[in-house]
């Protein structure tokens, strides 16, 4: 609902935040594009699918481009948040709710009822909207489309089209331009085109799994599933290289880059989930809750998901390592011990060197660690092959897939953009974000610095933080923002009217620096209050 | 337990309360007639522009006050009876205090213009003013034109606000260039351009003669002093500065000037009564600062200091180097040290000015003609580090040093174009 009291009594258009004629044409154009897909969905058989698919996708992209040009190029460069809280779409108004419900419904169909989209049993020709995408899929990979191909195409189109919109909106801000160019590149190249081309190579002697190289475990929770490992192992040097890359991504590449640049290198420059949130989801960033209560839920939830994903993956790998021991050089028990040792090393190191920074959170870290280790012990003691934790080994993995992979990250994470903000999954659920955040908080050169006494507590920074960080709470204390959840999108710095915030990579010393009295007051008072 | 009563829940009063709580267990009551909870006054404009909701402007969640045992009372103080150490509210209630902090802020200036109290004529300072603006100027159909009188920071903010709703604005500025009582001419000229680029009808060297109304007492037009031109409008924004909100203190026995007179310890003439923030007037100006400073951060600093005094560590208000910032439509402005406009510039002060050939980016560095000492800097469109300039001012660096170390002070976001090389090459060393 609009957050403004209207005294005008006008029901039609009380705010004067209508759209221009060109924008109406743009909306019509985009709607035509979507309508073609709906027609295909109800099995209208188009004579020339390639043509209609092209018209459909171009109409959608063209509509977004036309709309954005009108919205931003007619105005001067600068912050473009006028009327954000008055517009129905971006203030949980009727358009926001309708959009949220349609998105949610789409995700439910996509994950649980793909046959409604026209998916058919193996060997039969696709029908419905999936068949509309067949020509493009044949062109890229040589295979018929699947519901995931339809989804991947629409996802990429959304990031590209709304990425363009975002770039116009922030065309005065080079950080935003580069960052958005980066997520558009990684989505189009790494997530969409390369895996399709790789599928084309499949055949003689190897059968590589569909692999989006930038999609790292544990976000990519199925990366170490048995069928994938087998495909990697059986696909020669390239397959092994990909497997090694997959392991190195999380254990070597990620820690180095996060140390140097913070988790933003991934979350707001590379990641596909982040990419969609930053582009298509940008209009909803201010809807994230900044309450301390929400922060508490966030910390419990995201770390629970992390613990769950570690136990699930370990259990899964352990199960097939022991069941088919002859196929793999890695012994199941050694694997389990290695995981346990690795976690112990991290836990001990953190407690030894960073205990004072964690303060009371150390207790929760210890609980998480204890649960994980306990789970590993149970796994070891139960010593069965088909079953882990006395349930069928596949069950845990499918439970994770359904509840976390589909329901949380898809249905809630994206479907609820217009209601809960654009980073619900990233903030409350993503186990990858939890790992990167843990490192960012304790062992990274990244922080957001504040500028002496210039903060006027206006709250633009907090309002537009998609991760729900109360940035102002830090800025008005002259304290650097060092938060595990910060994805480094840089919007707080962009919307600050007084030049207070800056994203920086600098030395680890003095990163966390709360002050009671800010620069500008009596130096003796600052000394007295800040050096207690 | 000693009872500290603070009148005013703005940045000054709330900062004082927070710091007293940090330092003691005293009973603290904050009284406000404006709102139930503290909000950021500087963010009022963003509510009207749709960038934020009122909730977004509150720096602390509503549970904060109870958790920190800060009692809030929504009431209007009619009179202070300092002999009894009691406040009298307009509903007849009374509240006793042991120590009283006046942090009552400002009200918009009115200079006796005919028609200044008509319907549709208003200032912009309080939450009530914002609510009134929402009635007076909800959209461009009901407010076909607005006239703003007074070319200061609130005036230009009001112009920006109305502009976002497509309401045509005529902006009357007494000076011959926007805010040139404070800004040097070159900076001021850049802002004139920015105002006009936003299609604001900027009228320089123009004064208001009178405001006319219809038979219902609602504004219909204004008349310009110099030309007798009559401009039809539905809203008149009076933004010719603010003055301390002290009318209710007239017969209180508290010494008043333009504001509430205080010594360096922020104490009034009455024992146990203090005044901080916008409403406090120093007996003598501190350095080059004005006796009354209606600035966000000075209010906060006075709150920090008075808390010390009240908690037994009697301390002078001793602000450091002057700094400030603002945003003029899309142009961010920062200042550190003293850079004076034409009229108030001392003889010894001279300027080095650099402006980007096309963009609205500029810096002006003030320095001492004889000694070359760096006096201050204005930046438009470039962010600078407060801590670096504060240090350079303390160290009394000269202009050469500052120009050649500007990079150290840059606070622009990563990947932004930098202009230090151009600035340095356009700088003529004064002692060459």
User: What is the predicted ipTM?
Assistant: 0.95
Give the C-alpha separation, A88 to B18, whole Å: 38
pLDDT at A384 over 70: no
Could you tell me the two tokens for A416?
């609820």
Q: Summarize pLDDT for A141-154 with one digit per residue, the tens.
A: 888 999 999 999 99
From chain B, pick out residues whose CB is under 8 angstroms from the CB of A78. Answer: 329-330
Residue A388 pLDDT grade (very low, low, confident, very high; cuts 50, 70, 90): low
Number of neighbours of residue B370 by Cβ within 10 angstroms:
9
State the CB neighbour count (10 A cutoff) for residue A362.
15
Interface check B358 vs A, CB under 8 A: no
From B59, B332, B415, residue closest to A476, measured CB to CB: B59
Instruction: Report the chain A residue with the minimal C-alpha distance to residue B60.
Output: A473
* Pairing status of strand B201-203 against strand A387-388: unpaired
Q: What span, in angstroms and rounded, lies between the C-alpha atoms of A285 and A418?
A: 9
- pLDDT above 70 for A8: no
Spell out the domains of chain A, with CATH numbers in brackets: 16-75+113-187 (no CATH), 292-431 (no CATH), 445-531 (3.30.70)
User: What is the distance between the alpha carbons of residues A50 and B261, in angstroms, rounded to a whole number?
Assistant: 80
For residue B379, the tally of other CB atoms under 10 A from its CB is 28
Q: Does the distance separating the beta carbons of B318 and A457 come in below 8 Å?
A: no
pTM for this predicted structure: 0.94
Find the CB nearest B49 among A82, A476, A503.
A82
Residue pair A448/B381 in contact (Cβ under 8 Å)? The answer is no
Q: What whole-number distance in Å separates Cα of residue B278 and Cα of residue A498?
A: 20
Q: Can you give the pLDDT at residue A372?
A: 84
Q: Does B312 touch chain A (CB under 8 A)?
A: no
Confidence band (pLDDT; 50, 70, 90) for A386?
low
Question: Predicted confidence band at A1 (pLDDT cuts at 50, 70, 90)?
Answer: very low
A459 interaction partners in chain B (CB closer than 8 Å)? 40, 43, 46, 52, 56-59
pLDDT tens digit sequence for B149-205? 999 999 999 999 999 999 999 999 999 999 999 999 999 999 999 999 999 999 999
How far is the C-alpha of A278 from the C-alpha of A266, rounded, in Å? 13
CA-closest candidate to residue B92, choices B72, B73, B78, B74: B78
Q: How far apart are CA A274 and CA A295, in angstroms?
A: 19
- Cβ distance B133 to B48 under 8 Å? yes
* C-beta atoms of B61 and A453 within 8 A: no
pLDDT at A516: 85
Backbone angles phi, psi at B417, to 5 degrees: -60, 140
**Measured between CB atoms, does B92 come within 8 Å of chain A?**
no
pLDDT, chain A, mean? 89
Instruction: Provide CB contacts within 8 A for A454, sequence distance 6+.
Output: A498, A499, A500, B297, B323, B325, B334, B386
Share of chain A above pLDDT 70, in %: 94
Q: How far apart are CA A155 and CA B138, in angstroms?
A: 39
The tokens describing A50, both together, are 């390639």
> Average of pLDDT values for A493-501?
97
A127 CB contacts (<8 Å, ≥6 apart)?
Answer: A43, A118, A120
**Does the distance separating the beta carbons of A459 and B40 come in below 8 Å?**
yes
Find the mean pLDDT for residues A170-182: 97
Please give the Cα distance from A157 to A184 (Å, whole number).
10
Q: Name the residue with tokens 């909730």.
A: B55
CA A173/CA B417 separation, integer angstroms: 10
A237: its two tokens: 């040097």
| CA separation for the pair A531, B150 (Å, rounded) | 44
A-facing residues of B in 208-227 (CB < 8 A) are none
Strand residues in B8-69 grouped as ranges (E)? 27-32
Contact map slice: B 262-281 vs A, CB within 8 A: none
B94 interfacial to chain A (CB closer than 8 Å): no
Per DSSP, B32 falls in state E
Q: Please, what's the b/e burial string for B97-118 (b: 16 or more CB within 10 A of its CB; e: otherwise)?
A: bebbbbbbbbbbeeeebebbeb
CB B194 within 8 A of CB B160: no
Whether the per-residue pLDDT at A532 is higher than 80: the answer is no
Contact list in B for residue A527 (CB cut-off 8 A) is none
pLDDT for A10 equals 47
Are the Cβ atoms of B334 and A498 closer than 8 angstroms? yes
Contacts of A78 by beta carbon, 8 Å cutoff, 6+ apart: A172, B329, B330
Pairing of strands B201-203, B208-213: unpaired
Q: What is the DSSP code (8-state) at residue A213?
A: T
Q: Mention every residue, 6+ apart, whose C-beta is less than 8 A from residue A193.
A: A140
pLDDT at A13: 47
Which SS3 state, helix, strand or coil, does residue A99 take?
A: helix
The answer to whether the Cβ–Cβ distance between A472 and B59 falls below 8 Å is yes
User: How far apart, in whole angstroms, are the C-alpha atoms of residue B132 and residue B292?
Assistant: 27
Among A152-161, A238-247, B80-89, name the one with the lowest average pLDDT: A238-247
- Residues B413 and B409: their CA atoms lie apart, in Å, by 12
Binary contact (A452, B134; C-beta < 8 A): no
Q: In whole angstroms, give the CA distance from residue B260 to residue B246.
A: 7
Of the residues A1, A454, A514, A516, the best mutation for testing chain B's interface (the one with the most B CB atoms within 10 Å of its CB) is A454
Is a pLDDT exceeding 80 seen at residue A383?
A: no
pLDDT given for residue A113 in this prediction: 93
Q: Could you report the per-residue pLDDT of A286-331, keeping only the tens digit for each?
A: 999 999 999 999 999 999 999 989 988 988 888 888 888 888 888 8
Give the pair of three-digit tokens for residue B127. Answer: 């939450």
Contact predicate B141/A16, CB 8 Å: yes
Read off the pLDDT of each residue in A32-59 and give the average, rounded to a whole number.
92
**pLDDT attached to residue B432:** 46
Whether the pLDDT of residue A361 is over 80: the answer is no
- pLDDT tens by residue, A275-284: 999 999 999 9
CA distance A471 to B158: 26
pLDDT for the residue A332: 86
B30/B14 Cα distance (integer angstroms):
8
Mean pLDDT of chain B: 96
Torsion of CA A310, A311, A316, A321, to 10 degrees: 90
Of B42, B317, B387, the CB nearest to A458: B42
**Residue in chain B lying closest to A289 (CA):** B56
Chain B residues inside the 8 Å CB shell of A528: 308, 313
Which of A59, A13, A67, A12 has its CA nearest to residue A34?
A59
Q: Tell me, what's the pLDDT at A385?
A: 60
Cα A443 from Cα A354, distance rounded (Å): 9
* Token couple for A271: 């990641």
Nearest CB to A523; choose among B142, B320, B414: B320
- For β-strands B99-102 and B273-275, DSSP reports them as parallel
Q: Are B127 and B134 in contact (CB under 8 A)?
A: no
Instruction: Measure CB to CB from residue B411 to each of A172, A476, A502 and give the nearest one.
Output: A502
Say how far apart CA A138 and CA B9 lie, in whole Å.
67
Is there a contact between A460 and B52 if contact means CB atoms under 8 Å apart? yes
Length of chain A: 532
Kindly give the parts of chain B with pLDDT less than 70: 429-432
Please give, rounded to a whole number of angstroms, the shortest distance from the CA of B51 to a CA of chain A: 5
For B386, the closest of A78, A452, A528 (CB atoms) is A452
Give backbone dihedrals phi and psi of B230, rounded to 5 degrees, phi first.
Answer: -110, 130
**Mean pLDDT, rounded, for A124-131:** 89
């Amino acid at each position: 609902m609009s957050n403004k009291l209207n005294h005008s009594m006008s029901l039609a258009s009380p705010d004067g935040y209508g759209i221009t004629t060109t924008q109406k044409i743009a909306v019509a154009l985009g709607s035509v594009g979507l309508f073609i897909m709906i027609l295909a969905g109800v099995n209208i058989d188009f004579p020339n699918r390639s043509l209609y698919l092209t018209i459909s996708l171009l109409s959608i992209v063209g509509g977004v481009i036309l709309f954005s040009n009108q919205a931003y190029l007619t105005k001067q460069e600068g912050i473009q948040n006028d009327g954000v809280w008055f517009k129905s779409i971006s203030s949980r108004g009727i358009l926001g709710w309708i959009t949220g419900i349609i998105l949610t419904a789409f995700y439910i169909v996509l994950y649980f009822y793909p046959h409604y989209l026209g998916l058919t049993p193996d060997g039969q020709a696709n029908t419905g909207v999936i068949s509309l995408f067949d020509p493009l899929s044949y062109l890229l990979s040589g295979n018929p489309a699947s519901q995931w191909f339809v989804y991947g195409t629409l996802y990429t189109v959304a990031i590209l089209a709304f990425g363009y919109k975002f770039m116009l909106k922030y065309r005065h801000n080079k950080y935003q331009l580069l960052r958005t160019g980066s997520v558009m590149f990684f989505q189009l190249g790494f997530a969409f085109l390369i895996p399709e081309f790789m599928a084309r190579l499949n055949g003689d002697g190897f059968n590589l799994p569909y692999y989006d190289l930038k999609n790292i475990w544990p976000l990519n929770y199925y990366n170490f599933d048995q069928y994938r490992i087998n495909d990697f192992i059986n696909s020669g040097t390239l397959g092994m290289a990909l497997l090694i890359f997959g392991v190195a991504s999380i254990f070597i590449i990620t820690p180095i880059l996060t140390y140097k640049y913070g988790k933003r290198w991934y979350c707001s420059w590379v990641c596909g989930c982040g990419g969609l949130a930053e582009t298509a989801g940008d209009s909803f960033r201010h809807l994230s809750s900044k309450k301390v209560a929400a922060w508490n839920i966030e910390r419990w939830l995201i770390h629970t998901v992390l613990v769950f994903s570690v136990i699930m993956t370990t259990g899964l790998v352990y199960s097939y390592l022991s069941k088919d021991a002859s196929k793999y050089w890695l012994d199941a028990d050694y694997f389990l011990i290695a995981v346990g040792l690795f976690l112990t090393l991290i836990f001990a190191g953190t407690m030894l060197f960073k205990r004072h920074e964690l303060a009371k959170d150390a207790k929760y870290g210890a609980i998480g660690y204890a649960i994980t280790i306990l789970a590993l012990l149970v796994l070891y003691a139960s010593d069965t092959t088909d079953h882990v934790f006395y349930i069928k080994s596949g069950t845990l993995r499918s439970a994770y897939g359904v509840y976390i992979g589909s329901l949380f990250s898809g249905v809630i994470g994206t479907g609820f953009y217009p209601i809960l903000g654009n980073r619900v999954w990233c903030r409350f659920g993503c186990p990858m974000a939890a790992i990167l955040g843990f490192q960012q908080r304790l062992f990274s050169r990244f922080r957001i610095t504040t500028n002496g006494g210039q903060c006027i507590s206006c709250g633009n920074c907090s309002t537009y933080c998609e991760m729900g960080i109360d940035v102002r709470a830090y800025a008005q204390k002259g304290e650097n923002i060092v938060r595990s959840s910060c994805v480094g999108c840089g919007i707080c710095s962009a919307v600050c009217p007084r030049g207070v915030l800056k994203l920086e990579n600098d030395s680890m010393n003095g990163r966390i620096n709360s002050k009671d009295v800010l620069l500008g007051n009596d130096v003796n008072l600052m000394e007295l209050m800040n050096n207690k | 337990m000693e009872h500290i009563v603070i009148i005013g829940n703005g940045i000054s009063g709330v900062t004082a309360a927070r710091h007293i709580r940090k330092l003691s267990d005293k009973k603290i009551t904050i009284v406000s007639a404006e709102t139930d909870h503290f909000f950021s006054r500087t963010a009022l404009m963003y509510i009207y522009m749709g960038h934020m909701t009122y909730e977004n402007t509150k720096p602390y969640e509503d549970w904060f006050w109870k958790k920190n045992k800060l009692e809030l009372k929504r009431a209007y103080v009619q009179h202070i009876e300092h002999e009894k150490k009691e406040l009298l509210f307009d509903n007849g209630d009374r509240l006793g205090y042991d120590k009283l902090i006046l942090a009552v802020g400002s009200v918009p200036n009115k200079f006796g213009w005919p028609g200044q109290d008509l319907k549709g004529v208003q200032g912009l300072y309080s939450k009530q003013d914002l609510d009134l603006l929402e009635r007076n100027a909800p959209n461009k159909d009901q407010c076909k034109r607005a006239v703003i009188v007074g070319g200061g920071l609130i005036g230009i903010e009001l112009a920006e606000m109305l502009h976002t709703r497509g309401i045509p604005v005529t902006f009357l500025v007494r000076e011959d260039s926007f805010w040139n009582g404070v800004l040097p001419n070159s900076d001021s000229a850049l802002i004139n351009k920015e105002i006009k680029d936003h299609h604001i009808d900027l009228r320089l060297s123009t004064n208001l003669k009178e405001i006319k109304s219809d038979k219902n007492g609602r504004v219909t037009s204004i008349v310009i002093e110099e030309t007798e031109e009559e401009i039809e409008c539905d809203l008149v924004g009076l933004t010719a500065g603010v003055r301390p909100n002290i009318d209710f203190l007239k017969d209180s026995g508290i010494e008043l000037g333009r504001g509430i007179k205080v010594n360096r310890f922020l104490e009034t003439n009455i024992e146990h009564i203090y005044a901080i923030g916008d409403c406090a007037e120093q007996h003598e100006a501190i350095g080059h600062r004005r006796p009354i400073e209606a600035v966000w951060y000075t209010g906060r600093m006075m709150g920090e200091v008075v808390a010390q005094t009240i908690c037994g560590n009697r301390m002078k208000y001793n602000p450091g180097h002057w700094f400030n910032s603002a945003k003029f439509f899309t142009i961010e402005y920062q200042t550190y040290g003293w850079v004076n406009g034409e009229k108030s510039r001392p003889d010894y002060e001279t300027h080095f000015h650099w402006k980007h050939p096309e963009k609205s980016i500029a810096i002006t560095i003030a320095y001492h003609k004889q000694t070359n000492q760096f006096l201050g800097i204005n930046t438009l469109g470039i962010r600078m580090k407060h801590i670096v300039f504060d240090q350079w001012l303390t160290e009394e660096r000269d202009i050469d040093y500052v120009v050649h170390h500007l990079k150290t002070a840059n606070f622009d976001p990563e990947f932004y174009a930098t202009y230090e090389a151009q600035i340095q090459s356009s700088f003529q060393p004064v002692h060459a």
